[in-house]
Copies of this chain bind each other. A is one copy, B any other.
Amino acid sequence: MTDTARFDLYAFWRTSATYRVRVAFNLKGVQPNEINVNLEAGEQRSEAYLGINPMGAIPALIDNAPDQPKTPITQSLAILEFIEETHPTPALLPVDAHGRARVRSLATLLAADTHPLVTPRVKKYLTSVGGFDEAAWRAWQIQWFTTGLQALEQRLAGEPETGTFCHGHTPTLADICLASIVVMTRLFKIELPELPNVQRIMAACEQLDAFARAAPGLQAGAPQA
């Protein structure tokens, strides 16, 4: 079995968490078999998909290698670490414990402390139960994207480990998370304040084929421009 046939990735063209996994696989030179879960049609709430991930969230990864457990791997951060451990080259984490901690800290500032606040299930709750209209939802999105990205900007500007990318001069899991959030702000047309380091690093990421090919608009199921 080649790596190309090894992984099934339950995915949707638009989502930030799926984007992260696509970029990581691209950087490692692995092409998973993508299975589309149409969030707009509510397919993440189907009985079939809840059997794969009871949280009803994508992505989920299944390893088809014959000698490996078949328990689906869910949560993008867990999938990224799994890809890194099973396909170590090129490395997406530094070798030293402090560097690894910093990369994980920057990554989770976005993937854990920012993204979960602006997911479809939160929108559904706030607009159906919480009394939010479209303008209130938009203000909510702006609040959390801005909070997360401004904190990231301050860290990138102030910490000596910042380089061409978030940590040194090669892309890491932190850059993947940074790009995934910037991509979301573009999809939702969120106006951001000046974020010079974030914008500079996003541009460096987009120079790389692995990031460029993961752009939501290029994926199966995306609306035609």
Give the interface of A toward B (CB within 8 A). Answer: 53-57, 63, 68-69, 71, 73-75, 77-79, 81-82, 85-86, 97-98, 100-102, 104-105, 107-109, 111-113, 116-117, 121-122, 125-126, 129-132, 136, 139-140, 143, 147-148, 150-151, 154-155, 158-161
A71 adjacent to B85 (CB under 8 Å): no
A155 adjacent to B105 (CB under 8 Å): no
The answer, among B85, B97, B104, for a CB contact under 8 Å with A75, is: B104
Bound CA span A69–B105, Å: 14
CB-CB nearest in chain B for A80: B104
Q: Which of A53, A108, A116, A136 has the most CB of B within 10 A?
A: A108
A112 adjacent to B75 (CB under 8 Å): yes
CB-CB nearest in chain B for A107: B78
Bound CA span A78–B109, Å: 10
User: What residues on B are CB-neighbors of A57 within 8 Å?
Assistant: 113
User: What residues on B are CB-neighbors of A104 within 8 Å?
Assistant: 75, 77-78, 81-82
* Contact status of A105 and B78, CB under 8 A, knowing A151-B55, A155-B54: yes
User: What residues on B are CB-neighbors of A159 within 8 Å?
Assistant: 71
Bound CA span A79–B161, Å: 18
The answer, among B63, B101, B125, for a CB contact under 8 Å with A73, is: B101
A82 adjacent to B97 (CB under 8 Å): yes
User: What residues on B are CB-neighbors of A130 within 8 Å?
Assistant: 126, 130, 132, 136, 140
A74 adjacent to B122 (CB under 8 Å): no
Min CB distance, A140 to chain B, in Å? 7
Bound CA span A98–B161, Å: 31
User: What residues on B are CB-neighbors of A122 within 8 Å?
Assistant: 117
B129 adjacent to A131 (CB under 8 Å): no
Min CB distance, A1 to chain B, in Å? 16
* Contact status of A71 and B161, CB under 8 A, knowing A130-B132, A130-B140, A143-B125: yes
A98 adjacent to B69 (CB under 8 Å): yes
A113 adjacent to B154 (CB under 8 Å): no
* Contact status of A98 and B71, CB under 8 A, knowing A108-B112, A109-B55, A113-B116: yes
User: What residues on B are CB-neighbors of A109 within 8 Å?
Assistant: 55, 74-75
